Amino acid sequence: MAINKIERVLRDQVTQLTQKLSKITQAEEIYPLRSLYTGKESELQKALGLLKDLPKEERPTAGSLINATKRELEQAISEKLTKLLSEELAAQDAVRDIDVTAPFHVNMPDVPKLPRVGSLHPLQHEINRMLTIFTTMGFTPFEGREVDSDYYVFDSLNMPKEHPARQNWDTFRTEDNLIPTPHTSNMQVRVMRKMKTAPLRAVIYGRVSRNEAIDAVHGHTFYQIEGLYIDKGVSISNMIATINAFVEAFFGRKVTGKVQPGYFPFVEPGIEYMGQCPFCEGAGCGSCKHTGWLELVGAGMIHPSVLREGGFDPAVYSGFAWGLGLDRMVMQRNGIQDIRSLFSSDIRFLSSAV
Amino acid sequence: MKYSLTQIKKYIPELVTIPTDELITRIWGSIAEVESVVDYKKKFEGIVVAKVLSVEEHPRSSKLVVATVDCGASEPVTVVTGAKNFAVGDFVPYLSVGATVPAMTDEQGNPLEIEIRTMVGIPSVGMLASERELGLSDDHSGIMILRPEEVRFDLVPGAALSSVLEYDDVIFEIENKSLTHRGDCFSNAGIAREIATLYNLPVTIPEWQLPSQQTADLLGKEFDKELPCKISIKLSALSAVERYSAIVLDGVQVRPSPLWLRAYLTKHGINPVNNVVDVTNYVMLEYGQPMHAFDASTVLHKTRDEKVDFQIDVRFSEGGEKLETLDGKVRTLGQNVTLITDTQEPLALAGIIGGKASGITADSTRIILESAVFNKYAIRNASMALGVTTDASILFSRKQDPEKTVRALLRAVHLLQELASAQVVSPIADDYPPQKLSTTIVVSHEKLEEFLGIALSVGNVEQILTGLGCEVQRKNGMYRIDTPSWRPDLAIDEDIYEEIARMVEYKNITPELPKRGIFGVSLDSYEQVKQTILSVLTGIGYSQGMNFSFVSKDQYSLCRVSLDDAQKISNAISPDVQYMRKHVLPGLFSQLTKNQYNAPLFGIFEIGKTSRRTMRYTGAPVEELHMPESSFGIDELGLPIEDEHLSLGIIDDSKQPGYFTLKHSIETLAARLRMTVSFLHPSSLSAKEKKALPVWLVELLSFYREGRVALIYAGDQEVLGVIGEPKSAILTDAGITKQIALAEVSLPKLSRFATLDPVYTEPSRYPTVTEDYCFEVPVSVAYSSIIQKIEKAALLYKAEVTVSLRPRDIFQKKEETKQVTVSVTYMPLKQSLSEREVQMYRNSLVFSVQEVGGKLV
Does residue A106 belong to any structural domain of this protein? no
* Chain length of chain B: 857
Q: How confident is the model at residue A295 (pLDDT cuts 50, 70, 90)?
A: confident
User: For residue B65, what are the CA distances in angstroms to A189, B55, B133, B146?
Assistant: 74, 7, 19, 19
- Are both A126 and A26 inside the same structural domain? no
- Are both A234 and A90 inside the same structural domain? no
Best mutation target, B28, B191, B494, to test chain A (most A CBs within 10 A): B494
Question: CA quadruple B379, B381, B385, B388: dihedral positive or negative?
Answer: positive
pLDDT on residue B400: 94
Where do runs of H (alpha helix) occur along B12-124?
20-30, 40-43
Q: How confident is the model at residue B625 (pLDDT cuts 50, 70, 90)?
A: low
Does residue A23 belong to any structural domain of this protein? yes
pLDDT on residue B217: 59
3-class DSSP assignment, residue B574: coil
B676 touches chain A (CB under 8 A): no
Q: How confident is the model at residue A11 (pLDDT cuts 50, 70, 90)?
A: confident
User: Tens of pLDDT along B152-200?
Assistant: 888 899 999 999 888 889 999 998 888 888 999 999 999 999 999 999 9
CATH class assigned to B769-856: alpha beta
| H or E stretch covering B52 | strand B47-58
Report yes or no: A272 and A259 within 8 Å, Cβ to Cβ.
Answer: yes
Report yes or no: B231 and B426 within 8 Å, Cβ to Cβ.
Answer: yes
Q: What angle do CA A35, A39, A43 make, to 5 degrees?
A: 110
- The yes-or-no verdict on residue A65 having pLDDT over 90 is no
What CATH architecture applies to the domain B440-508? 2-Layer Sandwich (3.30)
pLDDT on residue B634: 64
pLDDT on residue A147: 94
Report which of B167, B145, B150 is spatially closest to residue B275, judged by C-alpha positions.
Answer: B150
pLDDT on residue B45: 92
- Relative to beta strand B346-349, strand B338-341 is antiparallel
Tell me the chain A residues in contact with residue B182 when contact means C-beta distances shorter than 8 Å. 263
Does residue A327 belong to any structural domain of this protein? yes
- Are both A187 and A330 inside the same structural domain? yes
Cis before A199 (ω within 30): yes
Instruction: HSE, CB side, 13 Å, CA atoms: give it for residue B730.
Output: 26
Question: CA quadruple A69, A74, A76, A77: dihedral positive or negative?
Answer: positive
Please determine, for the modelled complex, whether the ipTM score is greater than 0.90: no
Report which of B547, B527, B550, B667 is spatially closest to residue B605, judged by C-alpha positions.
Answer: B547
Do B509 and A272 lie within an 8 Å CB cutoff?
no
Active site residues of A: 169, 183, 210, 224, 267, 321
CA B644 to CA B707: how far, in whole Å?
28
3-class DSSP assignment, residue B190: helix
- The yes-or-no verdict on residue B209 having pLDDT over 70 is no
Do A119 and B678 lie within an 8 Å CB cutoff?
no
CATH of the domain at A42: 1.10.132
Q: What single letter denotes the amino acid at residue A3?
A: I
Residue in A94, A101, A240 nearest the CB of B782: A101
pLDDT on residue B437: 93
Does residue A113 belong to any structural domain of this protein? no
DSSP designation for B401: -
Best mutation target, A84, A98, A274, to test chain B (most B CBs within 10 A): A98
- The yes-or-no verdict on residue B836 having pLDDT over 90 is yes
- Are both A159 and A54 inside the same structural domain? no
Q: What angle do CA B801, B803, B804 make, to 5 degrees?
A: 150
**Residue, of B571 and B666, whose pLDDT is higher:** B666
Q: How confident is the model at residue A21 (pLDDT cuts 50, 70, 90)?
A: confident
Where do runs of H (alpha helix) occur along B581-657?
585-594, 629-632
- Are both A74 and A218 inside the same structural domain? no
Where do runs of H (alpha helix) occur along B541-657?
553-558, 585-594, 629-632
Cis before B628 (ω within 30): yes
CA A307 to CA A300: how far, in whole Å?
13
User: Tens of pLDDT along B477-501?
Assistant: 999 999 999 999 999 999 999 999 9
Question: How many domains are there within chain A?
Answer: 2
- The yes-or-no verdict on residue B24 having pLDDT over 90 is yes
Does residue A341 belong to any structural domain of this protein? yes
Rounded mean pLDDT of chain A? 88
Q: What angle do CA B42, B25, B33 make, to 5 degrees?
A: 100
Does residue A204 belong to any structural domain of this protein? yes
Rounded mean pLDDT of chain B? 91
In chain B, where are the structural domains located? 2-41+170-205, 45-164, 215-431, 440-508, 525-753, 769-856
Match domain B525-753 to its CATH number in 1.10.3470.10, 1.10.10.10, 3.30.930.10, 3.40.50.620: 3.30.930.10
B37 touches chain A (CB under 8 A): no
Q: How confident is the model at residue A1 (pLDDT cuts 50, 70, 90)?
A: low
User: Tens of pLDDT along A214-239?
Assistant: 887 788 999 999 999 999 999 999 99
Report which of A278, A220, A23, A268 is spatially closest to residue B572, judged by C-alpha positions.
Answer: A220
3-class SS shares of chain A: helix, strand, coil, % to 5: 45, 20, 35
Q: Same fold for the domain at B45-164 and the one at B525-753? A: no
Best mutation target, A114, A166, A258, to test chain B (most B CBs within 10 A): A114
- The yes-or-no verdict on residue B26 having pLDDT over 90 is yes
Q: How confident is the model at residue B505 (pLDDT cuts 50, 70, 90)?
A: very high
Match domain B215-431 to its CATH number in 3.50.40.10, 3.40.50.1110, 1.10.1200.10, 3.40.50.300: 3.50.40.10
Report which of B635, B714, B531, B437 is spatially closest to residue A192, judged by C-alpha positions.
Answer: B635
Report yes or no: B806 and B783 within 8 Å, Cβ to Cβ.
Answer: no
Distance of CA B405 to the CA centre of its chain: 34
Report yes or no: B509 and B452 within 8 Å, Cβ to Cβ.
Answer: yes
% pLDDT > 90, chain B: 74
B537 touches chain A (CB under 8 A): yes
- Are both A210 and A338 inside the same structural domain? yes
**Residue, of B338 and A41, whose pLDDT is higher:** B338
- Are both A127 and A40 inside the same structural domain? no
Cβ neighbours of residue B87 closer than 8 Å, sequence gap 6 or more: B52, B55
Tell me the chain B residues in contact with residue A269 when contact means C-beta distances shorter than 8 Å. 494, 497-498, 501-502
- Are both A135 and A240 inside the same structural domain? yes
Q: Which residue of A has its CA nearest to B602?
A: A114
Q: Which residue of B has its CA nearest to A351?
A: B543
Tell me the chain B residues in contact with residue A187 when contact means C-beta distances shorter than 8 Å. 628
Mean pLDDT of A159-172: 80
B476 touches chain A (CB under 8 A): no
**Residue, of A335 and B69, whose pLDDT is higher:** B69
User: Tens of pLDDT along A90-148?
Assistant: 888 999 999 999 999 999 999 999 877 899 999 999 999 999 999 988 999 999 999 99
**Residue, of A63 and B28, whose pLDDT is higher:** B28
Q: Which residue of A has its CA nearest to B664?
A: A103
Report the C-alpha dihedral over residues B566, B569, B570, B573, rounded to 10 degrees.
-140
pLDDT on residue B608: 96
End-to-end CA distance of chain A: 81
| H or E stretch covering B699 | helix B695-701
**Superfamily designation of domain B45-164:** Nucleic acid-binding proteins (2.40.50.140)
- Are both A258 and A130 inside the same structural domain? yes
Which class for B328: exposed (0-12), middle (13-18), buried (19 or more C-beta within 10 A)? exposed
Residue in B452, B705, B810 nearest the CB of A235: B452
B501 touches chain A (CB under 8 A): yes
- The yes-or-no verdict on residue B715 having pLDDT over 90 is no
B300 touches chain A (CB under 8 A): no
Do A146 and B32 lie within an 8 Å CB cutoff?
no
Cβ neighbours of residue B765 closer than 8 Å, sequence gap 6 or more: none
Does residue A146 belong to any structural domain of this protein? yes
- Are both A170 and A297 inside the same structural domain? yes
Tell me the chain A residues in contact with residue B633 when contact means C-beta distances shorter than 8 Å. 194
B178 touches chain A (CB under 8 A): yes
Query: pTM of the predicted model, to two decimals?
Result: 0.85
User: For residue B666, what are the CA distances in angstroms to A353, B389, B456, B599?
Assistant: 24, 56, 63, 21
CA B353 to CA A316: how far, in whole Å?
48
- The yes-or-no verdict on residue B212 having pLDDT over 60 is no
Q: How confident is the model at residue A291 (pLDDT cuts 50, 70, 90)?
A: confident
CA B35 to CA B37: how far, in whole Å?
7
- Are both A217 and A313 inside the same structural domain? yes
DSSP designation for B355: B
Do A115 and B635 lie within an 8 Å CB cutoff?
no
Q: Give the domain range for residue A35.
A: 3-94
Q: How confident is the model at residue A202 (pLDDT cuts 50, 70, 90)?
A: very high
Mean pLDDT of B337-358: 94
pLDDT on residue B44: 92
Mean pLDDT of A20-47: 82
CATH of the domain at A156: 3.30.930.10
Report the C-alpha dihedral over residues B698, B699, B705, B709, rounded to 10 degrees.
-40
Output b/e per residue, B371-396; b: 16+ Cβ within 10 A: bbbbbbbbbbbbbeebebebbbbbbb
What CATH architecture applies to the domain B2-41+170-205? 2-Layer Sandwich (3.30)
Tell me the chain B residues in contact with residue A98 when contact means C-beta distances shorter than 8 Å. 657, 659-660, 707-708
User: Tens of pLDDT along A249-260?
Assistant: 988 888 888 999
Residue in A104, A165, A269 nearest the CB of B498: A269
Report yes or no: B854 and B818 within 8 Å, Cβ to Cβ.
Answer: no
Query: How many CB contacts within 8 angstroms connect chain A with chain B?
Result: 373
Does residue A114 belong to any structural domain of this protein? no
Residue in A92, A103, A138 nearest the CB of B728: A92
B710 touches chain A (CB under 8 A): yes
- Are both A201 and A252 inside the same structural domain? yes
